[in-house]
Amino acid sequence: MFYKAKVRMEFQRIIAECMMGNNPSISYLTNLIMTQGIKLYAPSAKRLGLEIRDAVFFCIERTSEELKKYSSFSEIMDLDNSYEFRAYGDYRKIPYIDSEERIMSALGKEYSNREKPWN
C-alpha cells in the first residue's frame, strides 16, 4: 500500500549518498525520477517483487533509458537549462551531466558484484 512512498523515501536517501542533498528537485534528472519515474515504474517493480532499494534503482534505470530513448542529448540539455531550482541555503542546481554521473555510478556500485534482480 505504501510501496511508492517507501520508494520515494529511499530515493532521497540514495541521492543523499550521492552527495546531492536530500532534495530531489536539486537537478532536472532527480526531479524527473521523483515526479515521473517512480510514479510510472514503481508498480512494475512491485509486481516483480523487488525490495525497496532495488525498486529505486529499477526506477532510476528505466527513467534514464526512457529519457535517452525519446530525447536527443541537445533536447535533454535544453530541458536541463530551462529547469529552475529555487536555491536555498548553500544548495545550488546540479547540472544534468553531474547528476546522471553520480546516480549511474551509484547504480553501478550497487550491482557491481551481484546481478540486477529485474534482468
Instruction: Tell me if 29 is assigned to some domain.
Output: yes
Instruction: Tell me if 78 is assigned to some domain.
Output: yes
Instruction: Give the pLDDT of the chain (119 residues) as one tens digit per residue.
Output: 699 999 999 999 999 999 998 888 888 899 999 999 999 999 999 999 999 999 999 999 999 999 888 888 888 888 888 877 665 555 678 888 999 999 999 999 999 999 999 88
Query: From the DSSP assignment, how many helices (H) and strands (E) are in the chain?
Result: 6, 0
pTM summary value: 0.89
Instruction: Tell me if 119 is assigned to some domain.
Output: no
Query: How many structural domains does the chain have?
Result: 1
Instruction: Tell me if 35 is assigned to some domain.
Output: yes
Instruction: Tell me if 13 is assigned to some domain.
Output: yes
Within 10 A of 69 (CB to CB), how many other CB atoms are there? 7
Instruction: Tell me if 96 is assigned to some domain.
Output: yes
Length of the chain: 119
What domain range includes position 62?
3-110
d(CA 86, CA 112): 35
